[in-house]
């Protein structure tokens, strides 16, 4: 056989040149874009747990099923088992690229190959070539792309700390994503637990100016990841999210606050210096419940942004305000306002009195007259006079515990949404 017959085709040579140019950009996504250019098809790279690491294009419109997978950041379980079955049935060596003519993406045939580095499986490459015929040259092209991915991974290994931070951020993202399959969430929780000792807590700092914050988010996350250990940093849904580990728990001081945790204090100060308002969840142990603690911290931060508290936002310090904040999102607030508040507000407007504020502060201070008088900047006798007048004018039994509880719930709702105190239009 003539040696000239073994020369690569023009297509293979061109593909090699495209991949070489992509390698010079030193990024995984540049290789994914090159692969998509070579095949003129959507391309996905998943890790060893079939979590989507990258894709090109980012939102493949041509294949709805594939678009849903990219949105969920993971292949669904049915697709994973189909892929594994095809590996078993293909008859090729395990790591050799092969072609699936049917069954994975609703009739969109796939070229598959596995990324193996130093004998360890690092991920799977999936190329959706559709109904086009597949020959040996297509498999050779996949092999070229796999080699480029392995080379890129080898280059990236030079910054182990960045890789660790990125890997942990990806696991945190999976636990925050409500669509993550159970088996992926369990693997993500196990990976985080193996790297970050528990107990845990979540700190969330929502961005104020989304565009500006997004532009600098990656820089801030990288900066924080380099400064602090036993923590994972992520920019998620226009907010900085931090998973904290090694939280000490004391029965004498069970509420986690910046005052009793050095790292919390540093992070609060850091984000406040950036003009952001952080919120802190309660401490917890089970990482599979992480989304609950994320919402605790997020609600706390949003309440603090509205100026409803003077101190730093700690979830348990704010309770039960977060419960009522959640109620308002469901548009149910007006149903829980006690009718007497409409009468008091109408009276205040007509006679320039301050009875609504007096009653609300009295309730929010749990009927402590000294604290209420101090908050109102009035003498205790003045407070007592106002409370007596409120009881007389509006027939409010201020000594009845059930009535006071009902009014307290209304006061909490009004502290979040003052407009609820306006009389409903008939």
- CA angle at 45 for the pair 65 and 11, rounded to the nearest 5°: 100
Instruction: Say if domain 333-421 classifies as CATH 1.10.10.10.
Output: no
What is the model's pLDDT at position 418?
85
Say which CATH class 7-156 falls into.
alpha beta
Average of per-residue pLDDT across 345-366: 91
Beta strands in 57-109 (DSSP E): 98-100
Residue 206 half-sphere exposure toward CB, CA atoms < 13 A: 16
What is the model's pLDDT at position 82?
64
Q: Which residues contact 367 (CB under 8 A, 6 or more apart)?
A: 404
pTM for this entry? 0.55
CA dist., res. 179 & res. 76, Å (int): 10
**241: pLDDT strictly greater than 70:** yes
What is the model's pLDDT at position 95?
55
Contact 390, 359 (CB under 8 A): yes
Starting at the edge strand found earlier in the chain, the sheet holding 98-100 runs 52-56, 43-46, 120-128, 110-117, 98-100
Task: Give the percent of the chain with pLDDT over 90.
Answer: 19
Tokens at 326, concatenated: 């959640």
What is the model's pLDDT at position 158?
42
Confidence of residue 7 (pLDDT cuts 50, 70, 90): low
Q: Which residue has the higher pLDDT, 132 or 205?
A: 205
* 3-state percent helix, strand, coil for the chain, nearest multiple of 5: 55, 15, 30
Confidence of residue 389 (pLDDT cuts 50, 70, 90): very high
**326: pLDDT strictly greater than 50:** yes
**126: pLDDT strictly greater than 80:** yes
Question: DSSP letter at 90?
Answer: S
End-to-end alpha carbon distance in the chain: 95
**109: pLDDT strictly greater than 70:** yes
What is the model's pLDDT at position 4?
41
Rank 121-135, 158-172, 313-327, 345-359 by mean pLDDT and report only the highest. Answer: 345-359
Rank 123-137, 145-159, 273-287 by mean pLDDT and report only the highest. Answer: 273-287
Helix (H, G, I), strand (E, B) or coil at 413: helix
Q: At 392, give phi and psi (nearest 5°).
A: -75, -45
**146: pLDDT strictly greater than 60:** yes
Average of per-residue pLDDT across 270-279: 88
**92: pLDDT strictly greater than 70:** no
Q: CATH topology of 7-156 equal to that of 162-319? A: no
- Here the contacts of 223-230 (C-beta below 8 Å, separation 24 or greater) are 224/267, 224/270, 225/161, 225/162, 225/165, 226/161, 228/263, 228/266, 228/267, 230/196, 230/197, 230/263
Pairing mode of beta strands 120-128, 43-46: antiparallel
CA dist., res. 18 & res. 344, Å (int): 74
**159: pLDDT strictly greater than 50:** no
DSSP 244-312: E------TTS-S--GGG-HHHHHHHHHHHHTT---EEPPPBS-GGGHHHHHHHHHHHHHHHHTT--SS-
Q: Which residue has the higher pLDDT, 401 or 250?
A: 401
What is the model's pLDDT at position 211?
41
Buried b (16+ CB within 10 A) or exposed e, 353-381: bebbebbbbbbbbeeeeeebbebbebeee
Q: Where are the domains of the chain?
A: 7-156, 162-319, 333-421
CA dist., res. 34 & res. 388, Å (int): 78
- Which value, to the nearest 10 degrees, does the dihedral of the CA atoms of residues 337, 376, 402, 406 take? 10
Average of per-residue pLDDT across 187-197: 87
Q: Which residue has the higher pLDDT, 11 or 340?
A: 340
> In this predicted structure, which of 63-67, 228-232, 235-239, 383-387 has the lowest mean pLDDT?
63-67
Average of per-residue pLDDT across 97-122: 71
The CATH number corresponding to 162-319 among 1.10.15, 1.10.1760, 3.30.70, 2.60.120 equals 3.30.70
Burial group, residue 248, by CB count within 10 angstroms (0-12, 13-18, 19+)? exposed
Tokens at 81, concatenated: 């088992």
């Amino acid at each position: 056989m003539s040696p000239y017959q073994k020369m690569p085709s023009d297509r293979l040579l061109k593909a090699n040149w495209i991949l070489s140019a992509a390698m010079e950009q030193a990024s995984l996504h540049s290789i994914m874009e090159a692969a998509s250019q070579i095949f003129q098809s959507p391309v996905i790279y998943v890790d060893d747990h079939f979590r989507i690491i990258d894709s090109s294009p980012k939102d493949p419109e041509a294949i709805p099923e594939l678009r849903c997978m990219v949105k969920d950041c993971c292949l669904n379980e049915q697709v994973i088992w189909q892929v594994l079955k095809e590996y078993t049935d293909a008859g090729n060596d395990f790591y050799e690229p092969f072609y699936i003519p049917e069954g994975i993406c609703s009739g969109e045939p796939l070229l598959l190959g596995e990324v193996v580095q130093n004998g360890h499986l690092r991920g799977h490459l999936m190329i959706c070539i559709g109904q086009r015929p597949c020959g040996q040259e297509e498999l050779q092209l996949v092999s070229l792309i796999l080699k480029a991915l392995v080379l890129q991974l080898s280059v990236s290994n030079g910054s182990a700390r960045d890789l660790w931070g990125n890997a942990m951020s990806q696991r945190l993202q999976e636990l925050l994503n409500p669509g993550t399959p159970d088996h992926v969430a369990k693997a993500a929780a196990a990976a985080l637990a193996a790297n970050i000792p528990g107990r845990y807590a979540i700190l969330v700092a929502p961005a104020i100016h989304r565009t500006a914050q997004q532009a600098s988010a990656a820089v801030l996350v990288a900066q924080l990841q380099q400064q602090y250990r036993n923590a994972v940093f992520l920019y998620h849904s226009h907010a900085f999210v931090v998973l904290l580990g090694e939280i000490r728990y004391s029965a004498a001081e069970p509420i986690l606050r910046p005052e009793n945790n050095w790292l919390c204090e540093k992070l609060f100060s850091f984000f406040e210096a950036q003009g952001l308002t952080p919120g802190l969840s309660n401490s917890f142990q089970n990482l599979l419940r992480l989304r609950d603690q994320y919402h605790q911290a997020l609600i706390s931060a949003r309440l603090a942004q509205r100026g409803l508290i003077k101190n730093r936002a700690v979830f348990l310090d704010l309770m039960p305000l977060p419960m009522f904040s959640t109620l308002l999102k469901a548009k149910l607030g007006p149903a829980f306002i006690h009718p007497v508040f409409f009468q008091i507000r109408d009276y205040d407007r007509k006679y320039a009195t301050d009875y609504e504020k007096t009653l609300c502060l009295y309730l929010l201070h749990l009927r402590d007259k000294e604290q209420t008088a101090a908050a109102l900047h009035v003498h205790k006798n003045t407070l007592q006079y106002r409370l007596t007048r409120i009881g007389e004018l509006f027939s409010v039994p201020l000594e009845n515990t059930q009535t006071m509880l009902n009014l307290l719930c209304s006061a909490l709702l009004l502290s979040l949404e003052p407009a609820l105190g306006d009389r409903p239009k008939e």
